[in-house]
Structures are given as C-alpha cells and as structure tokens.
C-alpha cells in the first residue's frame, strides 16, 4: 500500500512540476533574473505549495503514525552548520547555471532527455561524492 501511495505522490508531484513551469529551465532562470526578463511565476508555485503543505502537515501531525508506515521519519536538527550553508551555495550555483534542481531533472529525463545525458549522471555523481565525503 505504501508503495502505491508513494507512486501516486510521485505522479502528483511531477504533474505539479510540469503544470507550474518548474520543469522549464528557461522559466526558472527568468525567475532568478531580477535585472533582465524577470518572470515571477515561480513565486506562485512556492506560495501554492507552502500554503497546502503547512496546513496539511499540521493535520497529518495529529496522527500518531503514518497511514501505511511504522513511524514518521522527520529531520529534527536545528543547528545552522557550515555544510548547510556551503551546500546551499553549491546548489544555488548549479541551479542558477542550468535551471535544473533534482525534481525537474527527473522530469527532464523524459522532457529534455538530450540535456539529461550529461546533467543527470553528473548530478548523481555529485550527490555520491557529497555522501562519501560527509
């Protein structure tokens, strides 16, 4: 059952990326380009997603356990450490250069397969290096 739920969550998430324009790197780059052809659309993605998630998470939090898993697996760290900041900086550079973050990169395996021939395996390599050197 949990696999079905997870698969459906993947479908809905992916539909959200495609419909919202997050899967289009030109739109992402224009959202980040305040001094040129600024396209504020993606601010609306964040507003919609955060509005739904903050209410939904609160409701889910009233349950003692997930519907089809033994327990909630939530991050509980509070400290602002160096890896958090340096990681966010590296991520921002790669995101700004390409317009792809990990979700849209997955969607782009289909919608932009040519570009993903190099970006996707290199992204996985970067993730693996960060894991190994953590």
Partner 1 sequence: METLFTPWHSLFGGILIGSAAVLMLWGCGQILGVSGLLSRLLPPWSSSQDIKVRVAFVAGVIALPLLAMVSGQVSSIPPVNGNPLYLGLAGLVMGYGTVRGNGCTSGHGVCGISRLSQRSIVATLVFMATAAVTVYIARHLLGWI
CB of 48 to partner 1, least distance (A): 3
* Shortest Å distance, C-beta 76 to partner 1: 9
In order of 28, 30, 122, the CA distances from 85 in angstroms are: 22, 24, 22
Taking the complex as a whole, the smallest distance from the CB of residue 62 to partner 1 amounts, in Å, to: 11
- For residue 100 the two structure tokens come to 């792809």
User: How far is C-alpha 124 from the geometric centre of its chain's CA atoms?
Assistant: 14
CA distance 47 to 56: 14
113-124 b/e (C-beta count within 10 Å ≥ 16 → b): eebbeebbeebe
Residue bearing tokens 């939904």: 56
Query: Phi and psi (nearest 5°) for 35?
Result: -105, 10
């Amino acid at each position: 059952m949990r696999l079905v739920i997870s698969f459906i969550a993947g479908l809905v998430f992916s539909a959200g990326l495609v419909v919202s324009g997050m899967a289009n790197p030109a739109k992402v780059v224009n959202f980040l380009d305040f001094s040129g052809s600024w396209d504020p659309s993606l601010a609306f993605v964040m507003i919609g997603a955060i509005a739904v998630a903050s209410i939904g998470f609160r409701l889910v939090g009233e349950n003692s356990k997930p519907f089809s898993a033994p327990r909630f697996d939530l991050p509980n760290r509070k400290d602002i450490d160096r890896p958090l900041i340096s990681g966010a900086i590296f991520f921002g550079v790669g995101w700004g250069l390409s317009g792809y973050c990990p979700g849209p990169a997955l969607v782009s395996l289909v919608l932009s397969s040519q570009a993903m021939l190099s970006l996707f395996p290199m992204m996985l390599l970067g993730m693996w290096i960060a894991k190994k050197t953590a």
